[in-house]
Amino acid sequence: MAVIATYPIFGRQVGAHWLSIATLTTTGAIAYLSLSGGKKSEQAGPAINAKSKEEESFVKDFLKKAEEKK
């Protein structure tokens, strides 16, 4: 009969195998989340700090026309 090592965690006896499973799961979840990347922003460039709506639309139109010329 096998003897399982146990450790007291928050007043309860927890088997070493459960601690191993929890550690591997947590490590895998952190790696997955860190490698999956963040949200992609809709705007590819820096923010347009325009003082009015007309100025913002002018800059956007200008950038759109410049992209079409490429």
Q: What is the pLDDT of residue 48?
A: 83
Cα–Cα distances (Å) from 20 to 7, 33, 34, in that order, read 12, 20, 21
Which residues, 6 or more positions from 59, have their beta carbon under 8 angstroms from its beta carbon? 48, 50
Mean of pLDDT values over 3-29: 96
The letter for the amino acid at 13 is Q
In the chain the beta strands, taken as DSSP E runs, fall at: 6-9, 12-15
Q: Full-prediction pTM beyond 0.75?
A: no
Tokens of 63: 């950038």
Q: What is the pLDDT of residue 47?
A: 80
Q: What is the pLDDT of residue 16?
A: 96
Which residues, 6 or more positions from 8, have their beta carbon under 8 angstroms from its beta carbon? 14
